[in-house]
């Protein structure tokens, strides 16, 4: 098989939570231990589409960068950078914009959802919709194609965007020659979709998240607040209907899971199970948490790592954009 290039980005609008860790950051770091060509980046230009509060962008960029590092990303091996430190990405975005059919963008789920919401509220169809939101998939295509990524690990909601990147790449290749590899979305089915404190998928938009690096006491409190049903201690419980078990499963080994399933059958009390879950998660996070706090107190250190990452990335992007500009006649 030809060389795989793995690339993924995280939009810097919020504080990383347990779901981001279990579903995205953790698996990505693991992948980077086995593959020499990993590109991970902070999608801070994408953040501007959703968030126009500079303070929040600044904070989120720091938190997300510190999170990857605290969880053990080896930045000597993987290339770790901020999108906005790579000017060639936005240059490429324009080249791609000029070959992207408007009709393709009209079909983007995020844009369509915004239009639908307006229409059903009897508002103008385009109310509150910026060109940033409309062009979001072109920027994402530039992120991916700039590094000729083959594998793009993303959540299901992003599959369409990766497919659009393929379409755009094909159009560019057809017009100007074979410059881009066609990327594939990689949805890991063995990766945990973590439930939130209310049992629905853990997501910022549901307000049911547990921030990854809460201080120990607050982490405990957050876990104690997870919603359960009213089954009494001693009554057998179904692990497959239990948010606590589903969360536990995301962090535990198979043997540990088997043991807990047995405890459910024997009627473990919800309070006790919460304690078990807390101990599991806390054991996993206590070292990274310390590291995270150190990194957050040392922004210059993190900044230097990001700038080194940008330099590494630009060793590729600067000559590549020169070729692409030449190809289009600039």
**Of 29-37, 99-107, 138-146, 317-325: span binding ligand TRP (CB under 6 A):** 138-146
Check: CB of residue 18 under 8 Å from CB of residue 289: no
Contacts of 109 (CB under 8 A, 6+ apart): 157, 160
Q: Which residues, numbered 9-38, are part of the site for ligand TRP (CB under 6 A)? A: 9, 11
Q: Exposed e or buried b for every residue in 38-74, given b needs 16+ CB within 10 A?
A: bbbbbbbbbbbbbbeeeebbebbbbbbbbbbbbbebe
Distance CA(15)–CA(60), nearest Å, equals 6
Check: CB of residue 212 under 8 Å from CB of residue 20: yes
Return the residue of 8, 203, 242, 243 that touches ligand TRP, per CB under 6 A: 8
Nearer to ligand TRP, 17 or 274 (CB): 17
CB of 295 to ligand TRP, least distance (A): 22
Nearer to ligand TRP, 143 or 264 (CB): 143
Nearer to ligand TRP, 43 or 57 (CB): 43
Give residue number: closest CB to ligand TRP.
Answer: 9
Q: Which residues, numbered 139-178, are part of the site for ligand TRP (CB under 6 A)? A: 140, 143-144, 152, 154, 158
CB of 7 to ligand TRP, least distance (A): 6
Any contact of residue 313 with ligand TRP (CB under 6 A)? no
Ligand-binding site membership of 203 (annotated): yes
CB of 188 to ligand TRP, least distance (A): 14
Number of residues counted as binding ligand TRP (CB under 6 A): 12
CB of 140 to ligand TRP, least distance (A): 4
Check: CB of residue 180 under 8 Å from CB of residue 169: yes
Nearer to ligand TRP, 133 or 269 (CB): 133
Nearer to ligand TRP, 164 or 260 (CB): 164
Distance CA(21)–CA(4), nearest Å, equals 23
DSSP-derived secondary structure for 210-243? -BTT--HHHHHHHHHTS----PPTTS---GGG-H
Distance CA(91)–CA(321), nearest Å, equals 8
Question: Which residue blocks in the chain are alpha helix, DSSP H?
Answer: 18-20, 26-34, 44-50, 54-70, 87-97, 102-106, 109-120, 131-145, 159-176, 216-224, 243-251, 254-265, 270-296, 299-328
Q: Which residues, numbered 45-84, are part of the site for ligand TRP (CB under 6 A)? A: 46
**Of 2-10, 121-129, 171-179, 192-200: span binding ligand TRP (CB under 6 A):** 2-10
Binding-site residues for ATP sit at 11-13, 19-20, 155-157, 194, 201-205
Task: Give me the residues that bind ligand TRP (CB under 6 A), please.
Answer: 7-9, 11, 43, 46, 140, 143-144, 152, 154, 158
């Amino acid at each position: 098989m030809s060389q795989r290039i793995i690339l993924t980005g995280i939009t810097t609008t919020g504080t990383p939570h347990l779901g981001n860790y279990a579903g995205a950051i953790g698996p990505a770091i693991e992948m980077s231990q086995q593959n020499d060509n990993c590109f991970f980046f902070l999608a801070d230009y994408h953040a501007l589409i959703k968030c126009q509060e500079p303070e929040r962008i600044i904070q989120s960029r720091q938190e997300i960068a510190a999170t990857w590092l605290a969880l053990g990303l080896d930045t000597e091996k993987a290339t770790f950078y901020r999108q906005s430190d790579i000017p060639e990405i936005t240059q490429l975005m324009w080249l791609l914009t000029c070959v992207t059919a408007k009709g393709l963008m009209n079909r983007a789920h995020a844009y369509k959802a915004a239009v639908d919401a307006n229409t059903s509220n009897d508002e103008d169809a385009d109310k509150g919709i910026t060109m940033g939101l409309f062009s979001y998939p072109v920027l994402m295509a530039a992120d991916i194609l700039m590094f000729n990524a083959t594998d793009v690990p993303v959540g299901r909601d992003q599959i369409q965007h990766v497919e659009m990147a393929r379409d755009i790449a094909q159009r560019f290749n057809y017009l100007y020659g074979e410059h881009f590899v066609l990327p594939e979305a990689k949805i890991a089915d063995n990766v945990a979709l973590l439930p939130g404190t209310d049992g629905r998928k853990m997501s910022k938009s549901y307000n049911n998240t547990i921030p990854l690096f809460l201080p120990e006491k607050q982490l405990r409190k957050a876990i104690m607040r997870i919603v359960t049903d009213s089954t009494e201690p001693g009554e057998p419980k179904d692990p497959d209907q239990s948010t606590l078990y589903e969360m536990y499963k995301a962090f535990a080994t198979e043997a540990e899971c088997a043991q807990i399933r047995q405890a459910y059958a024997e009627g473990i009390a919800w309070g006790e199970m919460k304690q078990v879950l807390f101990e599991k998660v806390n054991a996993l996070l206590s070292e990274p948490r310390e590291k995270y706090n150190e990194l957050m107190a040392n922004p210059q250190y993190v900044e230097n790592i990001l700038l080194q990452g940008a330099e590494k990335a630009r060793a590729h992007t600067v000559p590549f954009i020169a070729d692409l500009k030449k190809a289009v006649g600039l």
